[in-house]
């Protein structure tokens, strides 16, 4: 039986088809489901091994990016999500999905893994004051996340207006680093952190591009792995050494491999 991946969409989601394609390219059986269908039957979530919240502008990013979608999860799906996670399942939030996971409390996550409604971090407006649509270099800095391989440097595109990761104070970032929850950082072409804009496209504290929870099984990242599933997706693909797939496909392949 193939791994089943749920791509949860709602009004304003616009990367669900690409995300479904990436999962299927990685060998999963992916299905796009509207959040209202899941609210009608929350236990439907347990039919899947992976919950994916894709990118876009859910509900027009009214109030704050991902806030309304996050509230739906907290008020209607929290119990189902907790049972889902208790069964050793995976959660992936991409761009707007990352914003949703942070705002509903699944990331960075409480000690018991439950949504807290008191986030210790947020994702806010880019320092540039504009929407950033560009390619960036990333480095994996965690060894606990099944989606990633520590030390790997790779390229993915970003497309967001509110991608700046900001902890409530310096303590949460230090705690995340200590617990190995800083999953991805923006780096320069040589894999070094501390690079200025545009290498860090939004001004995130600590060059953070993605974080995971304490178990490593919940990953949120601002860059879009589904937009580099094929090698031809890269703007310099004709100048690079020939590759069988794009850098982002590895994220989905590792998610599938976790259950095999």
- Provide the strand spans (E) within 3-131: 4-9, 29-34, 50-53, 90-94, 121-124
Cβ–Cβ under 8 Å, residues 31 and 7:
yes
- Which of 134, 234, 122, 107 has its CA nearest to residue 167? 122
**Helix axis angle, 249-257 relative to 16-25, nearest 10°?**
60
Segments in 87-224 forming alpha helices (H): 96-103, 170-178
Q: Which residues are catalytic?
A: 95, 224, 226
Q: Do 23 and 70 contact (CB within 8 A), yes or no?
A: no
């Amino acid at each position: 039986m193939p791994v089943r991946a749920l791509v949860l969409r709602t009004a304003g989601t616009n990367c669900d088809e690409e995300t479904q394609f990436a999962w299927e390219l990685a060998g999963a059986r992916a299905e796009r489901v509207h959040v209202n269908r899941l609210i009608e039957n929350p236990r439907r979530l347990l039919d899947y091994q992976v919950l994916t919240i894709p990118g876009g502008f859910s509900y027009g990013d009214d109030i704050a990016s991902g806030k309304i979608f996050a509230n739906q999860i907290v008020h209607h799906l929290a119990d189902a999500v907790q049972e889902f996670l208790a069964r050793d399942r995976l959660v992936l939030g991409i761009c707007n999905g990352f914003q949703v996971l942070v705002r509903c409390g699944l990331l960075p996550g409480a000690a018991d893994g439950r949504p807290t409604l008191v986030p210790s971090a947020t994702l806010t407006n880019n320092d540039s004051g504009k929407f950033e649509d560009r390619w960036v270099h990333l480095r994996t800095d965690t060894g606990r996340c099944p989606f990633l391989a520590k030390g790997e440097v790779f390229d993915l595109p970003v497309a967001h207006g509110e991608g700046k990761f900001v902890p409530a104070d310096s303590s949460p970032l230090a705690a995340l680093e200590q617990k190995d929850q800083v999953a991805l950082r923006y780096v320069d072409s040589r894999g070094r952190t501390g690079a200025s804009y545009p290498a860090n496209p939004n001004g995130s504290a600590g060059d953070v591009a993605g974080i995971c929870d304490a178990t490593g099984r919940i990953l949120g990242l601002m860059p879009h792995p589904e937009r580099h599933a094929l090698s031809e997706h890269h703007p310099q693909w004709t100048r690079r050494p020939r590759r069988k797939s794009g850098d982002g496909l590895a994220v989905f392949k590792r998610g599938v491999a976790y259950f095999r």
